Structure 1
Amino acid sequence: MYYTYVLHSLKDRKFYIGFTQDLKRRFEEHEKGFVESTKHRRPLKLIYYEACLDRSDATHREKYFKTHHGKMYLGKRLKSYLTG
């Protein structure tokens, strides 16, 4: 399984979208500051993830989530989280 995930930075209130084969390990790497793109944006909260059967599906979802329509989709899925 591969996972596409969304992190929310509690520091700058922005989102990070990525994919991995081991979600728990990858989130721990983000939390410990081992990921260059998020190390200065900690603390982070895992707010969404999807399981995919293979790598190409996960990368496709990651790319989609980074588009305008993908951000709109996530906004609808996370409406209660984003509005408090």
Structure 2
Amino acid sequence: MFYVYVLYSSMSERYYVGITNNLVRRLDEHNSEKVASTKPYLPWKIVHQETFETRLEARNREKYLKSAAGRRWRKKNIWPRGATE
């Protein structure tokens, strides 16, 4: 199984889209300063995830979510948990 995930940093109000086969490990890597592109914006939390059978399916969805159309979809459909709390 492969996962496409969207992370949100409430400290910087940023999103990050990624792909992995181990969601728990990958979130830990992001929050342990092991990923250069997310290190300055800690902490991260998962606000959306999707599961796919193949890496190709997951990669295609990840590419879509990173596109202009995908960003518009994310803006309409994904809200950070706890943002209004």
In structure 2, what is the Cα distance between the partners aligned to 1:56 and 1:28? 24
Q: CA deviation at 1:76?
A: 2.3
Where does residue 71 of structure 2 map in the other structure? 71
1:43 aligns with 2:43: yes
**How many equivalent pairs are there?**
84
Structure 2, unmatched stretches of 5+, are none
Runs of at least 4 residues off by over 6 Å: none
- Structure 1 residues 1-80: aligned runs within 5 Å: 1-79=1-79
Q: Identity rate of aligned residues, in percent?
A: 36
**Ranges in structure 1 where 5+ consecutive residues have no aligned partner:** none
Query: What TM-score results when the alignment is normalised by the length of structure 2?
Result: 0.88
Preserved contact between residue 75 and residue 82 of structure 1 (Cα < 8 Å): no
